[in-house]
Structure 1
Amino acid sequence: MTDNTTSPTPLSLLGAGAMGTALARAWLAAGHPVTVWNRTPARAEALAAEGATVAASAAEAVAANRLVIACLLDDASVGTTLEDADLTGRDLVNLTTGTPREGRERAAWAQARGARFLDAGIMAVPPMIGAPDSGAYVFYSGSAASFDEHRGTLAVPAQTRYVGADAGFAALHDVALLSAMDGMFGGVLHAFALVRREDIAPKEFAPLLSDWLTAMAPWIHQVAEQLESSDYRTGVVSSLAMQVAANRTLLRTAEEQGVSTELVVPLADLMERRMAQGYGDEDTTGVVELLVTDTDTTATATA
């Protein structure tokens, strides 16, 4: 009989912070040999006790395995950490949070040093890593060949979503989703502030707020359809003019309640501007046109 089983892929991990440690533990639990390096060696001691090999330097960690994963503080630290490492023939996966431009530039940097490169955006916090059904996943972009080869290994800590050969796309997807989350957080905080001084229990108000946001979520798909068709007047339920009028009531209510409007004024102002341009009968989607600038973000994508 032919034995078709394969051994778990060995890998090197640069960075043993909270996220790096969670990633390492997931790979170790799945049987992957892990070589780890951290700028502060003491932080790698717990992983050594769990079976990881601790490298004395980043260059030593890189030399140990073909699959090298960086989970460091920022893009600059990736360059500094790998400055003296030989990346020839390596697959470098960058799980460090960065911008799309940094991802593209780091891809070109890695390719010039003989490595295939994947950038990534982690949609999770450390406790979600390696936890079944946590919903954690990671965006990957860059070398399709590298992703296809290591897909199984990368899927151990969290689900994987490959979003394209453009190395900047993982960070772009990551930040776009986080931006939407921040906007939601701002709205939620403003809502709680409005009722804060009244005889309304936050725990009783919370389900109403959660259910309302869930009910409004399908509007996202309508925005996508309108953007793809460039027709912001199709399927309009509540026109921009109606929403501008509602915003004015919202702002007056905040004033009456003694609540700052700084979380909601920016969007209200944009909606007023768009309506003043003569688009009161369209959906709010047209505000996107006020946000997009002509800044050139083009860069070479590394396949």
Structure 2
Amino acid sequence: MTTEAITVLGLGNLGRAVAEAFLRGGHPTTVWNRSAAKALALVEGGATAAATVGEAVAAGELVVVAVLDQRAVREVLHGVDVRGRVLVNLTSGTPDEARAVARWAGENGAEYLHGAVYAVPQTIGTAASSINCSGSAAVHERWRERLGLLGKVTFLGADAGRASGYDVAVLAGMYGLIGGFLHAAALARAGGIKATELTPMLLSWLVDLHPALVAFAEEVDSAAYAGGESSLAMNQSGLATLIRAAEAQGVPFAGLDAVKALVDRQVAEGRGAESLARAVESLGGSPRRAG
């Protein structure tokens, strides 16, 4: 591995960890942040602090962007000469926002790869860190070893928005799970049970659900929901009982009401005997076609 010069724009928790990983890998690393004081510790570790974004971009062939959101990406790069540079954007956003930045990069002479990081900052550069990326296959091929300094890299295809598509879906599942956990903890507390006592049993049950989720995923992809051991009608009854219990304990949760509404709609359409997975159809949406 050669030691190409790399630039990191944005020194929040993620950007700082990314810069540190490149420094550990022996790469000359230039950093920039709106608040210059955030660069001091990195400079002590061997980084070079740039006074302007333009100076930072000019210093690195690979430019990694890790700022607050896609609006900040546009603001930071506005008016900057990115010709001949490779932009790897690790900033969270929607799939269409990623595609818009990719178009801007192409129109301004840069190559583009969008990334979504799955790690807490302290695990960047370890086996516990992974990055999904999409966009330029050539960029991925050329820079994958260097990007591998940050964690396991998985390339998802040429659509720059695909990594964000995975990201928003994964995060939606994560926050749904966290919301469910917080409600479970509140219900346990209302019943005189400590959250630390509940959690091992809850984790065991969630692990046991893995096969069901795999089966649900296959049903969703095929849009075939006939049969199944977990019917909509059965879950409609179970959700109603759970909602009553939560209200009785003074811990109602809109998340449960929302799930039941999805189920109710399908049952009302005469689908009660079909799999719970069919509730996804109440959410709408259709697959995005390539091209």
Question: What is the TM-score with the length of structure 2 in the denominator?
Answer: 0.95
User: Distance between the aligned counterparts of 2:203 and 2:133, measured in 1?
Assistant: 30
Deviation at 1:287, TM superposition (A): 1.4
Runs of at least 4 residues off by over 4 Å: none
User: Distance between the aligned counterparts of 1:181 and 1:115, measured in 2?
Assistant: 33
Deviation at 1:192, TM superposition (A): 1.6
2:146 counterpart of 1:171? no
2:143 counterpart of 1:150? yes
Q: Quote the RMSD (CA, aligned, Å).
A: 1.7
User: Distance between the aligned counterparts of 1:198 and 1:61, measured in 2?
Assistant: 56
Counterparts in 2 of 1:199 and 1:82: CA distance versus 1, 3 Å: closer
Q: Higher helix proportion, which one?
A: 2
Secondary structure of 2:4 counterpart: coil
Which residue of structure 2 lines up, in the alignment, with residue 291 of structure 1? 283
Which residue of structure 1 lines up, in the alignment, with residue 270 of structure 2? 278
User: Distance between the aligned counterparts of 1:118 and 1:152, measured in 2?
Assistant: 14
Deviation at 1:49, TM superposition (A): 0.4
Residue 101 of structure 1 contacts residue 297 of structure 1 at CA under 8 Å; is this kept in 2?
A: no
Q: How does 1:50-89 map to 2 (within 5 A)?
A: 50-89=45-84
User: Distance between the aligned counterparts of 2:7 and 2:23, measured in 1?
Assistant: 12
List runs of 5+ in structure 1 lacking aligned partners. 1-5
Residue 114 of structure 2 contacts residue 134 of structure 2 at CA under 8 Å; is this kept in 1?
A: yes
Residue 98 of structure 2 contacts residue 164 of structure 2 at CA under 8 Å; is this kept in 1?
A: yes
Deviation at 1:198, TM superposition (A): 2.5
User: Distance between the aligned counterparts of 2:221 and 2:159, measured in 1?
Assistant: 21
Task: Find the partner of 2:212 among 215, 219, 244.
Answer: 219
Aligned partner letter, 2:143? H
User: Distance between the aligned counterparts of 1:17 and 1:40, measured in 2?
Assistant: 10
Which residue of structure 2 lines up, in the alignment, with residue 3 of structure 1? none
Which residue of structure 2 lines up, in the alignment, with residue 9 of structure 1? 4
Which residue of structure 2 lines up, in the alignment, with residue 23 of structure 1? 18
Deviation at 1:124, TM superposition (A): 1.6
Secondary structure of 1:8 counterpart: coil
Which residue of structure 2 lines up, in the alignment, with residue 266 of structure 1? 258
The CA deviation string for residues 256-275 of structure 1, in whole angstroms up to 9 with x for no partner, is: 21211323110011111111
Aligned partner letter, 2:251? V
Secondary structure of 1:203 counterpart: helix
User: Distance between the aligned counterparts of 2:92 and 2:56, measured in 1?
Assistant: 21
Secondary structure of 2:190 counterpart: coil
Using the TM superposition, name which of 113-122 and 73-82 deviates more: 73-82
The CA deviation string for residues 121-141 of structure 1, in whole angstroms up to 9 with x for no partner, is: 1112212212x33x2211101
User: Distance between the aligned counterparts of 1:261 and 1:111, measured in 2?
Assistant: 46
Residue 35 of structure 1 contacts residue 64 of structure 1 at CA under 8 Å; is this kept in 2?
A: yes
The CA deviation string for residues 18-70 of structure 1, in whole angstroms up to 9 with x for no partner, is: 11111111111111110111111111111100000111111111111211111
Deviation at 1:297, TM superposition (A): 7.2
Aligned sequence identity (%)? 41
Deviation at 1:217, TM superposition (A): 2.2
List runs of 5+ in structure 2 lacking aligned partners. none
User: Distance between the aligned counterparts of 1:95 and 1:85, measured in 2?
Assistant: 18
User: Distance between the aligned counterparts of 2:109 and 2:70, measured in 1?
Assistant: 19
Which residue of structure 1 lines up, in the alignment, with residue 102 of structure 2? 107
2:199 counterpart of 1:206? yes
Residue 135 of structure 2 contacts residue 157 of structure 2 at CA under 8 Å; is this kept in 1?
A: yes
2:132 counterpart of 1:139? yes
